[in-house]
Amino acid sequence: MKKKLLFVILLLLLSLVLMACTQNDAEEDETDDPENEVEEPAENEDSSEEEIPTLDEEQAKEVLHDYRDGFMSVIENTEDDGALADYESKEALKEEFMNVMSEDLADSFVSHYFEEDNGKVYVVPTEAPVWFEEDSDFSLEQVNDLEYEVTQEQSNELIGNIRMTYVITSTEDSWIVNEVRSEDLNGENSENGQDGDQASDENNTDNNTETDTGEITEITAEDLVREHLNISQNSDIHVVMDHKNEDGNFVVQVYELVSNGETSHTATIGWYIVDQDDGTVEEMM
């Protein structure tokens, strides 16, 4: 009897051991089963996506303001002989311009407006670029995620009636002017040189009329500076209206061409501000 009881107890113990092993194996299988694995969400999945920059009208105006000032601050800082004060090569000047404009546009500016001679860089006497007018109407259009176009119509006696397009693109850390385009809105009326001359004569007539009525125009501003400095119309000294400052007053450059062998460069005599309201002339300091 005791043997039977002992045998039953052993069977029960063996059954319990087998059941325990079977349960452990099942738990291990569930743990190893990839279908039962819970995928953890990728950390910072959203942060890995690059944020697309946007440009509003105020930012566009600021970009175009820096674009103009980047150029003007260079040409207004010259030595007595007309050489740029802070740049000894076109390459250095190009690198400076690339802070506010594309490499292609910087190349165009450097080749068109400057010349290098004997380790110095001089300003070439020519018309200034057509700058964006901050106080005038304009439109801002998004071309793609990284490019916008600012369009503005401008009209005066020097440039005529044109539509300017300033292309602004995003770089790694800033917005720059990538390209500048202009469209002559009166092109259909100027099919030959005679028509252009006639239009020029009409503009001159209009300018004279504006002067007679007391309105200060760009040509009037140049004449006022000539009168202020006693410079005759036949003088070799050039008096050229360059741009308007933030107050709307005329900024006029006075310079002369200095021959240096087969080349020549500009020697700036001074910069003058003509008040748009009363025509008073003051030298820029």
| Domain endpoint, select from 189, 222, 251 | 189
- pLDDT in the model for residue 95: 95
Residue 263: domain span: 213-285
Q: Could you tell me the two tokens for 101? A: 């404009």
For the segment 153-197, what is each residue's pLDDT rounded down to a tens digit? 998 777 789 999 999 999 988 999 999 999 988 864 333 333 334
How many other C-beta atoms can be found within 10 angstroms of the C-beta atom of residue 203? Answer: 15
Does a structural domain hold residue 45?
no
> β-strand 250-260 against 263-274: which pairing, if any?
antiparallel
Judge if 119 and 233 occupy the same domain. Answer: no
% of the chain beyond a pLDDT of 90: 37
**164 and 262 assigned to the same domain:** no
What is the mean predicted confidence (pLDDT) over 72-100?
A: 90
What mean pLDDT, rounded, does the chain reach? 78
**What average pLDDT does range 14-21 have in this prediction?**
66
pLDDT of residue 13: 67
For residue 198, being part of any structural domain is answered with no
pLDDT at residue 211 tops 50? no
Answer yes or no: do 144 and 182 share one domain.
Answer: yes
Quick one: tokens of 262?
Answer: 């087969």
Highest averaged pLDDT of the listed ranges 12-21, 57-66, 75-84, 238-247: 57-66
pLDDT band at 213; cut points 50, 70, 90: very low
pLDDT the model gives residue 64: 97
Structure tokens at 3: 């043997």
Whole-angstrom distance between the N-terminal and C-terminal Cα of the chain?
125
In this prediction, residues 6-22 reach a mean pLDDT of 65
Asked whether residue 176 falls in the same domain as residue 61, the answer is: yes
- Structural domain count of the chain: 2
Q: Return the pLDDT at 201.
A: 42
Of 189, 223, 253, the residue at which a domain comes to its end is 189
Cβ atoms of 100 and 284 closer than 8 Å = no
Q: Are residues 135 and 70 in the same domain?
A: yes
pLDDT of residue 205: 41
CA distance 164 to 175: 19
| Residue 44 pLDDT exceeds 60 | no
- Which pTM value belongs to this model? 0.54
Residue 84 is classified by DSSP as: B
Q: Residue 11 domain-assigned? A: no
Cα–Cα distance measured from residue 244 to residue 158, given in angstroms and rounded to the nearest whole number = 13
147 and 227 housed in the same domain: no
**Whether residue 123 is found in the same domain as residue 88:** yes
- Is the same domain home to 67 and 181? yes
CATH number, domain at 224? 3.10.450.170
- The verdict on residue 18 lying in a domain is no
* pLDDT value for 26: 56
Q: Is residue 87 part of a domain?
A: yes
CATH number of the domain to which 157 belongs: 3.10.450.420
Same domain, 185 and 66: yes
**Residue 16 maps to a domain:** no
Q: What is the pLDDT of residues 65-79, one digit of tens each?
A: 999 999 999 988 888
For residue 145, which amino acid is it? D
Residue-level pLDDT at 128: 83
Strands 120-123 and 147-156: unpaired
pLDDT at 18: 66
The answer on pLDDT for 3 being more than 70 is no
Last residue of a domain, one of 148, 173, 189: 189
